[in-house]
Structure formats: structure tokens, C-alpha cells
Amino acid sequence: MSELHDVFARAKSENRAALIGYLPAGFPTRQGAVECLLAMIDGGVDIVEIGLPYSDPVMDGPTIQQAVEISLSGGTKIPDVIDTVREVAATGAPVLVMSYWNPIERFGVDRFASELVAAGGVGVITPDLTPEEAKAWIATTDTHHADRVFLVALSSTNERIATVSSVTTGFVYAGAVMGVTGVRANLSDEVKNLVARVRPHTDLPVAVGLGVSTPEQAHDIAQYADGVIVGSAFVSAINSGGAAAARVLAQQLSAGLRRD
């Protein structure tokens, strides 16, 4: 069983959803990212999602785009991402990388999966890779025992959800909004329906992300999803108050994840 399975099972036994926190490697600096991620874990993040900075982040909103630009301008490369995974995974928290497909393909599919797992990473979220184009990735992740997380969206048909679920391991990532990432004041009521539409197609946990930023939103989502994914809000907190602010936000979000 994946380490992710254990975390989701523990959260369920505690009558809550798991908290998944995202931050790009190299933001605000290489070591600063490690410090912030450790603070997030200390504050209650169960699973860490480390972003691999990419120059054409089609799904990322302005907050994460700015963080990625800072990371790239600081010279962050894939080996730096792997090193960040290694340092954070040493805490015992499961660590995923979120990456667009192009950097993985250019680095070498087998090499990337091999180095990630050797560093203690448990898997990869690939937001722009479709199941139809993922044959090599599926084979490679199977070989290296790495989880592969694909996304479903509000616009996904039930047939599409079935296809995505059939090749996903770890958990299914359900996008709470149409469009790019970023803090939202309100999340669509259709998110609950999306999670419900995923359930018949897989026994995997379903985690909701894209736009989640407040303890109130996290609490609402925790009533029907297995995990809550937060990214832009952590970046904003770090911009305003560094690692200490990231820890406080994690504490606040974590407190909101208990089910009624």
C-alpha cells in the first residue's frame, strides 16, 4: 500500500479530511522553501505537494506564477526539486511533486521517477498529462512504485472520470474551479457533485483543490472529500510572513478539517 493510503486512512479514523499543502520548490529561496514546507508540516499539513517550477504554467494563477518566477530566477532546476523532496521527506510526511509533463519528458521519464523515489518521494501529480498520452508514464511509475495522480474537473463527463480513475493511484485530484489556480471567495456547489460522481469509479480517496484558501472552505469540503489541497493561500501567507505565517495558516486550515 502507498504511504498516501496510510495518511488518508488515519485522517478518516480521526473523522477528518487530510490536509495537502502545495509550495513551489525554490520559493522564496531554495532553503526557504524547505523551511516553509517543514513549518507547514509542523502546523498540520499531512501530505506535501512540491511544485516543479516551469516557465509555461498554464494552470497556475497569478500568485503561484509569481512564486514560480521567483524560483526560476533563483536558478531552481530539477535536481534542486529532488533535493527539496529529500529534505522534506526526511520528516516522514509523504511528499509528491506536481509537475507539467514537458520538464519530466525532457529530463527523462525513467530518470525522473527513479530519482524521485530514491529521494523519498511517493508520487507525482501531472495536471496536463492525459491518460491517452500517459502510457510510458504509467509503465514507469509501476516499475518504480510511484503514485501517479491525475485530475478531474467540473466539466468532466462520467465517462472521462471513469477513464481518469482507471489509471490514477494514490488519490484522485478533483478541481474545485474552472480555470487557473488561485484564492477564491466562493467555490462552486458543483464540487460536491463532482466528488460524488468520482466515487462509483474508484475506491481511491478524492482530494479537492484549486481555489481553497480559508478554514471555512476547508471545513465545507471536508464534509464530503477525503482531502483538501491548498496552494495559493500558502504562497500568499509566505509572502506576508514567511515560514511562521505558513505554520499558522496550516494550523487554521487543519482545525477546520473535522467532519460534523
- Catalytic residue numbers? 49, 60
Residue whose grid cell is 489509471: 167
SS (H, E, C) 137-183: HHHHHHHHCCEEECEECCCCCHHHHHHHHHHCCCCEEEECCCCCCCC
Q: What are the C-alpha distances in Å from 119 to residues 96, 114, 115, 149, 171?
A: 11, 9, 6, 18, 21
In sequence order, what are the residues at sequence separation of 6 or more whose Cβ sits closer than 8 angstroms to the Cβ of residue 146?
113, 116, 117, 121, 122, 123, 124, 140
218 CB neighbour count, 10 Å cutoff: 25
Longest Cα–Cα distance of the chain, Å, equals: 46
Contact by Cβ (8 Å): 218, 228: yes
Q: Are 4 and 11 in contact (CB under 8 A)?
A: no
Q: Are 119 and 82 in contact (CB under 8 A)?
A: yes
8 Å CB contact between 3 and 95: no
